[in-house]
């Protein structure tokens, strides 16, 4: 199985310093939904791992978060794409939970649910904490320049061998090309 883990805000949809608090505020980044559909069509499963501290801050509730994700899933479906699993952390930075990125609880749970070795996974984010959560387990980290990506790149300190891409569309192309080159190096064995 092939798996890509995506952050949400700043990767799939435009981010806001005031949080995405309603379905009306959720707006996809140009090309991001098509990129997910392309990954799906290329044999990748896609999991979402997103910090959503707006819940603990009282800015929105679970019903609203579900409505935002319903809008995202419907919009993605129009391009023939899908999210195979959606993981979120509702906690604030002071809650000291194990799931809020840069801690890796969500990433570890994704690995368990998909029964996959995380060092075979691609992980796309726009902030250092997104990458740190996945790098702990050897995932191929990819920073997109959308959302907080430019600021993250300027601040430095990225995990070793992080790929930097303009956006999710470019990241998807690079993931697919990398996967295809691996299969050329290691073709499937014949049972004949």
Tens digits of residue pLDDT in 67-113: 999 999 999 999 999 999 999 999 998 899 999 999 999 999 999 99
The angle at the Cα of 67, spanning 45 to 97, to the nearest 5 degrees, equals 70
pTM, full prediction? 0.93
To the question of domain 2-185 being in CATH 3.40.50.1000, the answer is yes
Q: Which residues are catalytic?
A: 7, 9
Tens digits of residue pLDDT in 21-64: 999 999 999 999 999 999 999 999 999 999 999 999 999 999 99
User: How far is the C-alpha of 192 from the C-alpha of 183, rounded, in Å?
Assistant: 19
């Amino acid at each position: 199985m092939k798996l890509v883990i995506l952050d949400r805000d700043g990767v799939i949809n435009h981010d806001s310093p005031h949080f995405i608090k309603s379905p009306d505020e959720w707006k996809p980044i140009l090309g991001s939904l098509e990129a997910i559909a392309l990954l799906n069509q290329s044999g990748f499963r896609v999991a979402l791992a997103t910090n959503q501290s707006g819940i603990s801050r009282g800015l929105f509730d679970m019903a609203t978060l579900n409505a935002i994700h319903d809008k995202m899933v419907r919009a993605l479906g129009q391009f023939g794409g899908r999210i195979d699993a959606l993981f979120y952390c509702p906690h604030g930075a002071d809650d000291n939970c194990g799931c809020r990125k840069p801690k890796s609880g969500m990433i570890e749970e994704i690995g368990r649910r998909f029964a996959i070795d995380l060092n075979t996974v691609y992980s796309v984010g726009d902030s250092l904490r997104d990458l740190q959560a996945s790098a702990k387990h050897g995932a191929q980290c990819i920073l997109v320049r959308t959302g907080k990506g430019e600021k993250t790149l300027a601040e430095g300190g990225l995990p070793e061998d992080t790929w930097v891409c303009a956006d999710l569309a470019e990241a998807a192309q690079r993931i697919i090309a990398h996967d295809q080159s691996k299969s050329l190096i290691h073709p499937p064995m014949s049972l004949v």
